[in-house]
Every structure is written in structure tokens, then in C-alpha cells.
Structure 1
Amino acid sequence: MKTYAVIGLGKFGSHVAKGLIENGEQVIAVDKNEDSIKEFRGICENLFIIDTTDINSLKDAGIAEVDTAIVSIGKNIEASILSVMALKEIGVKEVIAKAYTLIHGKILSKIGTDRVIYPERDAAKRLVKSFSLNPKFEVIDVTNTMKIARFKITAQYANIAAGDLLSRSKSDLKIIAFKRENRWEYEIGEFLVLKNDDVVLLFGNSKELEIFVSNI
């Protein structure tokens, strides 16, 4: 069994930590904020609220002995870089770090990060690939993480209520508009029955849209 430290329990870090725990791996979960730690009580034995730029704090938490440390600190680029440097200094075998920007990623690589990841960019690329494989879909970027998907209802999904279609995706996706007979409508109730050749605009984050597309 490999041992992991997940540093930074925001959205991405939480998903990583929970996934590792569900797979039976040994995880040390770390964040500087107590609120971020709360949801891990009861599922993770090793929880620490520490300054991850401090070498002694990392050692006291047992992080020097882990096989892999994953740094998932949000927009605080300085803390991310200093945490990676501290992890390398205490001899962690493998350090993986999330980059917030391309420049951030380049700096992480320069200071010896073993693997730099770009979750938002990679999710967007997978989403674009999903749409390219399914010509019924088009995607429009709203922000780095939020997208609008445009697709046409086929016979397979005709006569299904909008609420039922969304409930299948088990996500927070929203239908923000639909077109029927060349007329766009913007008030969509969950009981709206979709018809063949309706065009629907779905709004949500990259990951949820990726899952939705893969299930269509």
C-alpha cells in the first residue's frame, strides 16, 4: 500500500483525497483551514491543520515518510511553491502539484516538482474531445471552468421532461434555454416535455458536462 499526503483540501484536493481513501490507500489530509478538514472527520485518520511551508510541521505530521505528496493549493501561488520546496527538502519521494496558471506550472517544474497538473485545462480538453466525438454537441466557454453545451434532442430523448433528463446526470447542470420551431424560450420548468429536434442549452462546469456527454 502506498502512502499519500494531500495538501490543500479545496474542491480538487478533496476529490483526490476521497478517491484515494475509497481505494483503500493511506492518506494524510492537510489544510490550513479547519473548515476544510471537517468533512474528512470520520473517513480519514490522519488530519492536520498546519502551515505546509514549514518543514518542521510537515515532519511532525509524518509527511516526510509518504510515497507521494499532492499539492492542491488554490490561488495562493506563493504558498504552493514554498510547500513544494519544503516537501522536496524533507525528502518526499514524489511531489505532484496543481498549477493555477501556465507560469505557475513552469515555476513548479523548475523547482523540481515531479509532475505538474492542470485540472481545469485538462478537464476542458477532455470535454472538447467528448464533443468532437459526438457531433450532436457543441461547447462554448463561459469561464475557465464553466461551459455551455448546445445539443439537439433526438428521438431517444424526445417526450422526456427536462427535469427527468437532468436528474439522470445527477449533477447541478441547468437548462438555460431551448429552441423549438426556430423560437428560443428562456423560461424552462422541470416539467417541460422536450420534443424531437428541440435545441437545448445546458450550463454547468466542465466535469459535469463531460459526464453528461459520455452518458448520452
Structure 2
Amino acid sequence: MKREFAVIGLGRFGGSICYELSKEGMNVLAIDISEDKVNEFKNVASHAVIADSTDEATLKELGITNFDHVIVAIGDNIQASILTTVILSELGVNKITVKANNDYHAKIVNKIGAHHVVHPERDMGRRIAHSIISNNILDYLELSEDHSIVEVKVSHKMIGKSLVDLDIRANYGCNVVAIRQGNDINVSPRADEVLQEQEVLIVIGSDKDIARFEKELVIEDD
């Protein structure tokens, strides 16, 4: 059974979500106050409508409570984002994800009913910053304010050593949750597993511990 999604706000972020969900075969209702934006997504989403999401009656008419997940991706109009989130929460929408423009915005929507808040610009900035520090850092994903998960290439400092030898958990407070080589992923690898060139470690931990792990084991001098 296909899940039902509604995306409110069809800017760069909301539009990207709309495209990806539709590509995965999901039923998507695309909503924006701009006729041009809605026309752009008429042939992408299951339905695309011009609507003011700050009008409770309008959202009721659209049957917004019937959707499994509503994404509030309104761009620069923080007031509209907050009012929309309040209405969705009061209507009892099952799951509400809100794009936050800043930390203040995030705090407010968290308090008024958002189930999940995303910071696309900030998160992308962090990912890019980590990737340009070293070619060995492949990806960086924030899990919470203090914890993240990072994908790193096995560096020359690690090749030929086992997880026991490196003792990453004891020395850096991080956990290696998987080892990837190509398309093969070894979840919960054995402690005596010897690391090879071209392998990728998937590591989880606090931001402070991950930073120390990257500095001492991952980043290599050019």
C-alpha cells in the first residue's frame, strides 16, 4: 500500500522532496501559494494545488489529516511556516516534518507540534566542511545536536590493523557500526577483523569524539 505524503512549499528543498517521493512511487500532494510553482509540479506529483496553508479551512478541504506524513518546506516566510505547523498539529496530523531556517525557528516548531525538524542548509554546510577537510571523509550526517554518523575511508594509519588494535571505542568513544566495501556492508563487524584498503568505516559518536577520531586516525597529510 502506497504511503500518502503532502509537501507544503515547493521551493528548492520542498521541490526536491516532491521529486524524490514521486520517483519512488509515493502518492504526493504538492501545495504552494504560487501558481507558477504548482504548475511546475503538476506532472510530477500525484496532485498539485494552489493553496494558502495558513488557512485551516483550506487544509481541511484538502483532507490533510488523511496523509501519513506532511512536510512543511516553506522557505523564507517563517510566520507562515509556524502558523501552518500549528494548524497541522491541532488537526492531529500523524507526522509533521518542518524545514527550519534557523535555530530559533526550530525551537518554536518543536514546541508547537513538529515531530521532526530539519536544517538543510546548516546540515549541508557541515557535510561539505567535513568532506573538504580530508578526501577520506566521505559523508557526515547529524543525528542530534551532539551526535553524528560519519563515513570514512580506511586511512593508511588503519590499513592492516584490526578493530581490536585500533580500539576506537576505548580511545575515541566512537562505535564502528559497519564496514563497507563496494556494495557489500558488514554490519556489527568482528573485533578481530583486519581493515583493508578501499574499505569504508561507518562510525557513530558524539561530535567531539568524532572530531578527535578524524583528526588522529582519518585525516592524512597531503
Q: Normalization by structure 2: what TM-score? A: 0.59
Partner Cα separation in structure 2 for residue 44 and residue 73 of structure 1: 17
Does structure 2 retain, via aligned residues, the 8 Å contact 1:109–1:115?
A: yes
Cα distance, 1:131 vs structure 2: 1.4
Partner Cα separation in structure 2 for residue 22 and residue 79 of structure 1: 28
Q: Secondary structure at the match of 1:27?
A: strand
Q: Kindly indicate whether residue 60 of structure 2 is the aligned counterpart of residue 59 of structure 1.
A: yes
Q: Secondary structure at the match of 2:41?
A: coil
1:82 aligned partner: 83
Letter in 1 for 2:101: Y
Structure 1 stretches lacking a partner, 5+ long: 136-216
Partner Cα separation in structure 2 for residue 62 and residue 47 of structure 1: 14
1:126 aligned partner: 127
Does structure 2 retain, via aligned residues, the 8 Å contact 1:48–1:61?
A: no
Q: Secondary structure at the match of 2:117?
A: strand
Partner Cα separation in structure 1 for residue 46 and residue 126 of structure 2: 35
Does structure 2 retain, via aligned residues, the 8 Å contact 1:73–1:98?
A: yes
Partner Cα separation in structure 2 for residue 121 and residue 12 of structure 1: 13
Computed over aligned residues only, the root mean square deviation of the Cα atoms, in angstroms, reads 1.5
Does structure 1 retain, via aligned residues, the 8 Å contact 2:18–2:45?
A: no
Partner Cα separation in structure 1 for residue 25 and residue 135 of structure 2: 35
The one-character-per-residue Cα deviations of 1:130-159 (angstroms, maximum 9, x if unpaired) are 112317xxxxxxxxxxxxxxxxxxxxxxxx
Does structure 1 retain, via aligned residues, the 8 Å contact 2:38–2:50?
A: yes
Letter in 2 for 1:14: G
Q: Secondary structure at the match of 1:29?
A: strand
Q: Secondary structure at the match of 1:43?
A: coil
Partner Cα separation in structure 2 for residue 131 and residue 45 of structure 1: 39
Does structure 2 retain, via aligned residues, the 8 Å contact 1:73–1:80?
A: yes
Partner Cα separation in structure 2 for residue 45 and residue 4 of structure 1: 10
Partner Cα separation in structure 1 for residue 69 and residue 7 of structure 2: 9
Deviates more, 1:59-68 or 1:37-46: 37-46
Letter in 2 for 1:62: G
Q: Normalization by structure 1: what TM-score? A: 0.61
Letter in 2 for 1:107: I
1:36 aligned partner: 37
Structure 2 stretches lacking a partner, 5+ long: 137-222
1:17 aligned partner: 18
Partner Cα separation in structure 1 for residue 43 and residue 3 of structure 2: 21
Does structure 2 retain, via aligned residues, the 8 Å contact 1:28–1:63?
A: no
Does structure 2 retain, via aligned residues, the 8 Å contact 1:5–1:27?
A: yes
Partner Cα separation in structure 1 for residue 108 and residue 64 of structure 2: 23
The one-character-per-residue Cα deviations of 1:162-215 (angstroms, maximum 9, x if unpaired) are xxxxxxxxxxxxxxxxxxxxxxxxxxxxxxxxxxxxxxxxxxxxxxxxxxxxxx
> How many residues in Structure 1 have an aligned counterpart in Structure 2?
136
Q: Secondary structure at the match of 2:52?
A: coil
Letter in 2 for 1:20: L
